[in-house]
């Protein structure tokens, strides 16, 4: 039920949630507030069914925490540059990654594009954005195939190979990826043109476009929550700096 | 009615004409097949008839394409789209949205149809192609056949009178091909005009009114559908075309006693996050010099088995032995080579020769083997060409040759003839025979019955993640 509610939210609200929390988490200094934002974002991912991402992310986080704890014991001077540093980056940028997964799992591309059109965003922006959103899952699938092909030819981009032959390995990865991306982009554009995407007049929509009261409430609660987080961060920072914000 | 008058087209940056002085008339309700070798101009003619030339493809166009007496060059593309629908080879790269219902609605939304009318059309289109149950599904979860039906429904919802289809069967298994045939039949019954560019036309028997054969950009032959399909397979082969009737069964060459090179017992594999095994105890055996066709519907587990045998996936249970020794996935990656369906995924370098050098077992010492292999696949003169600039058939042969350069014990290919014309398909068969002749075992996951008959020594049929014993029957192929 919660999943249905989240996925049914207006696409603009979802995008606002993703952009605002990512920016706020990066802006915040207090690690507890950042961790709180991350926890909320991971919960949203869980509700949308991205269990594997959440499990993987938490596993990496735990490993990094363990490494930094060990380093603190063994060599306190170096711990800040290694395990702890990566752990901190993950917590700070984690909400951004998590919300990308949330958007991927819950965004209805068609409804989003129509919403933008209703907001009078120029078609020169809307069409490429639509192509990009549609293109991303295809690129992920292409990358998987290219990785298979590289492994079987013995040129997989392993850390060792990247260190020994960085340019060669990068070129082996990028050449097929670029060729396939161009090909898919061309096919996608051709199919869209053949189905009238360039029509100049107003377009209609299968979906009801417009903000409902539930969308407005969610957007307001979310924005207030983030505002509270930023104020709290400011106060904590001010207190730690001896009352000088 | 749709017609072409003295139509010629040359792609921007190309020297030769892709189409030259083509004239044709297709009456309403008629079904016309465009056949012929790759590079003959089928796809270009399809693009011209659907208005993509000159509205999307850049180049020099002469002559006219008229739909109901109006030149398509004078109409805007959104207007043409309402009268002429286009379906391309790969449905996956034609989806602009990510949900079936949204995709079917896409064309209607562009046309600005009111919501109520749009809903009626979507409902009708989904019912028409029996995919109403897929309405809310994401396109990434659909099978190849379901994707093809979705794109047909999306075009149907726009209500065009003329349908242009470019190799619609290229990625389909036999059952999905039969479904496609039923869909096309029903469109024809409705009075739609169908123009289908296709290599493998056997499934269109009884549906086509006329067949036009294109070669070197010209229509070289026009035949009635009945006359074209009455020709024997041998006659089609002589003319360089794909067979018009599929063999009823597979006739293997006389069996020889062969040394076993590859054996798998009870192989099981599960994709992460899935609740069931994609492979459920697959057993198979391949001897030196054998070319085994692995048949089965899309989703039966052919590609998964191929990935697992060559070590790209790790088994959950069972074992794989090569030359009598049980091998782990890491070892199998060294001993086997896999050629993926899409050649572009596996071409990495800046010349065909370097591509082969990269594949050589000992990259430091070429000793002329790279050139020798290039000559063997007919690409000796293109040794210094960029692999990406080669034709589809040439790329596919280069990918196979690059795999052979490593002299693998086992060569596995996934749908190597998808989209290939008769000549390229036969060349591919010869290449595999050479590979098997050197004592390797070759495994080919394919739906292509003609290819199987051309070069395979044995068939194995897969169903629900298991290899069934014995030869595949004609209908299974």
* Whether pLDDT at B10 is above 80: yes
Same domain, B187 and B93: yes
Contacts of B426 (CB under 8 A, 6+ apart): B454
* Whether pLDDT at B361 is above 70: no
Tell me how close the Cα of B238 comes to any Cα of chain A, in angstroms. 34
Domain membership of residue B46 as a residue range: 2-238
Average pLDDT over residues B357-380: 77
Domain boundary, last residue among B238, B272, B292: B238
Q: How many CB atoms lie within 10 A of CB A226?
A: 20
The reply to whether B450 falls in a domain is: yes
Average pLDDT over residues B232-238: 87
* Whether pLDDT at B315 is above 80: yes
DSSP type of residue B139: G
pLDDT attached to residue B7: 96
Average pLDDT over residues B452-467: 86
The reply to whether B476 falls in a domain is: no
Instruction: Please give the ipTM for the structure prediction.
Output: 0.86
The reply to whether B253 falls in a domain is: no
C-alpha to C-alpha distance for B328 and B311, rounded to whole angstroms: 7
How many inter-chain contacts (A to B, CB under 8 Å) are there? 161
Verify whether the Cβ–Cβ distance B106 to A195 is below 8 Å: yes
pLDDT attached to residue A115: 84
Number of alpha carbons in the 13 Å side-chain half-sphere of residue B354: 12
When pLDDT is cut at 50, 70 and 90, the band that residue A83 belongs to is low
Verify whether the Cβ–Cβ distance B348 to A183 is below 8 Å: no
Q: What is the mean pLDDT of chain B?
A: 89
The reply to whether B454 falls in a domain is: yes
Strands of B162-166's sheet, edge to edge?
A: B84-87, B162-166, B193-197, B31-35, B210-215, B218-224
Chain segment A188-228, per-residue pLDDT in tens = 889 999 999 888 878 888 888 888 899 999 999 999 999 99
Cα angle for residues B192, B130, B105 (degrees, 5° grid)? 70
- Identify the residue whose tokens are 């006659």: B235
Closest residue in A to B79 (Cα) is A196
Tell me how close the Cα of A220 comes to any Cα of chain B, in angstroms. 29
Using a 10 angstrom Cβ sphere, with 0-12 exposed, 13-18 middle and 19 or more buried, the burial of residue B321 is: middle
Q: Are B125 and B154 in contact (CB under 8 A)?
A: yes
Verify whether the Cβ–Cβ distance A203 to B93 is below 8 Å: no
Same domain, B226 and B154: yes
Contact list, A182 vs chain B (CB under 8 Å) = none
The reply to whether B387 falls in a domain is: yes
* Whether pLDDT at B377 is above 80: yes
Residue B279: in which H helix or E strand, if any?
Answer: strand B279-287
Same domain, B94 and B177: yes
Verify whether the Cβ–Cβ distance B50 to A191 is below 8 Å: no
Chain segment B42-52, per-residue pLDDT in tens = 999 999 999 99
DSSP type of residue B248: S
Q: Please give the tally of structural domains in chain B.
A: 2
C-alpha to C-alpha distance for A174 and A180, rounded to whole angstroms: 10
Please report, for chain A, the start and end positions of each structural domain, with discontinuous segments joined by +. 1-107+210-245
Q: Are B9 and B44 in contact (CB under 8 A)?
A: yes
The reply to whether B173 falls in a domain is: yes
* Whether pLDDT at B248 is above 50: yes
Same domain, B315 and B190: no
């Amino acid at each position: 039920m919660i999943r249905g509610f989240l996925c049914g939210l207006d696409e603009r609200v979802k995008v606002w949630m993703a952009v605002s929390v990512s920016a706020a988490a990066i802006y915040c200094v207090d690690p507890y507030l950042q961790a709180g934002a991350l926890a909320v974002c991971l919960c949203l991912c869980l509700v949308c069914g991205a269990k594997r991402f959440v499990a993987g992310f938490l596993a990496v986080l735990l490993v990094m925490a363990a490494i930094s704890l060990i380093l603190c014991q063994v060599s306190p001077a170096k711990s800040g540059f290694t395990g702890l540093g990566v752990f901190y980056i993950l917590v700070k940028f984690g909400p951004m990654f998590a919300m990308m997964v949330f958007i991927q799992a819950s965004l209805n591309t068609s409804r989003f594009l129509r919403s933008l059109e209703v907001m009078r965003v120029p078609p020169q922006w809307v069409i490429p954005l639509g192509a990009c959103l549609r293109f991303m899952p295809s690129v992920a699938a292409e990358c998987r195939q290219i990785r298979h092909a590289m492994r079987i030819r013995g040129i997989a981009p392993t850390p060792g190979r990247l260190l020994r032959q960085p340019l060669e390995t990068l070129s082996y990865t990028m050449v097929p990826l670029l060729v396939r991306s161009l090909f898919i982009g061309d096919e996608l554009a051709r199919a869209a043109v053949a189905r009238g995407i360039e029509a100049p007049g107003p377009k209609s929509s299968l979906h009801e476009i417009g903000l409902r009261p539930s969308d407005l409430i969610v957007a307001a609660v979310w924005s207030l929550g983030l505002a509270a987080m930023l104020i709290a961060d400011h106060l904590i920072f001010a207190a730690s700096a001896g009352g000088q914000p | 009615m749709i017609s072409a008058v003295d139509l010629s087209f040359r792609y921007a940056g190309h020297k030769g004409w892709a189409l030259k002085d083509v004239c044709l008339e297709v009456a309403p309700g008629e079904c016309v097949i465009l056949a012929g070798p790759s590079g003959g101009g089928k796809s270009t003619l399809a693009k011209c008839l659907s208005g993509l030339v000159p509205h999307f493809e850049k180049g020099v166009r002469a002559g006219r394409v008229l739909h109901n007496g109006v030149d398509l060059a004078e109409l805007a593309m959104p207007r043409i789209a309402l009268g002429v629908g286009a379906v391309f080879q790969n449905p996956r790269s034609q989806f602009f949205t990510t949900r079936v219902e949204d995709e079917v609605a896409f064309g209607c939304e562009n046309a600005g149809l009111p919501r109520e009318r749009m809903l009626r059309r979507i409902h009708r289109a989904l019912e028409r192609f029996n995919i109403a149950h897929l309405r809310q599904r994401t396109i990434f979860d659909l099978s190849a056949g379901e994707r093809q039906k979705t794109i047909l429904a999306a075009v149907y919802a726009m209500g065009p009178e003329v349908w242009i289809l470019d190799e619609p069967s290229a990625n389909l298994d036999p059952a999905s091909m039969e479904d496609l045939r039923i869909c096309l039949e029903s469109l024809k019954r409705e009075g739609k005009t169908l123009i289908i560019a296709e290599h493998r036309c056997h499934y269109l028997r009884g549906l086509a009114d006329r067949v036009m054969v294109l070669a070197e950009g010209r229509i070289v032959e026009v035949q009635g559908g009945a006359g074209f399909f009455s020709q024997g397979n041998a006659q089609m082969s002589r003319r360089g075309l794909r067979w018009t009737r599929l063999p009823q069964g597979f006739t293997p060459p006389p069996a020889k006693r062969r040394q076993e090179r590859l054996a798998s017992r009870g192989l099981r594999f599960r994709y992460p996050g899935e609740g069931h095994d994609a492979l459920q105890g697959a057993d198979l055996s391949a001897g030196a010099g054998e070319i085994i066709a692995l048949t089965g519907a899309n989703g039966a587990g052919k590609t998964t088995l191929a990935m697992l045998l060559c070590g790209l996936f790790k088994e959950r249970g069972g074992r794989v032995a090569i030359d009598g020794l049980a091998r782990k996935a890491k070892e199998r990656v060294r001993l086997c080579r896999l050629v993926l369906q899409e050649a572009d995924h596996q071409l990495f370098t800046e010349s065909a020769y370097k591509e082969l050098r990269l594949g050589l077992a000992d990259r430091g010492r070429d000793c002329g083997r790279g050139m020798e292999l290039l000559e063997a696949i007919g690409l000796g003169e293109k040794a210094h060409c960029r692999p990406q600039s080669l034709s589809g058939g040439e790329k596919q042969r280069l990918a196979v040759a690059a795999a052979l350069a490593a002299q693998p014990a086992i060569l596995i290919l996934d749908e190597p003839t998808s989209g290939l014309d008769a000549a390229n398909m036969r060349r591919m068969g010869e290449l595999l025979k050479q590979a098997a002749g050197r004592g390797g075992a070759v495994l080919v996951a394919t739906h292509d019955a003609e290819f199987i008959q051309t070069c395979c020594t044995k068939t194995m049929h897969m169903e629900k993640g298991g290899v069934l014993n014995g030869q595949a029957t004609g209908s299974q192929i």
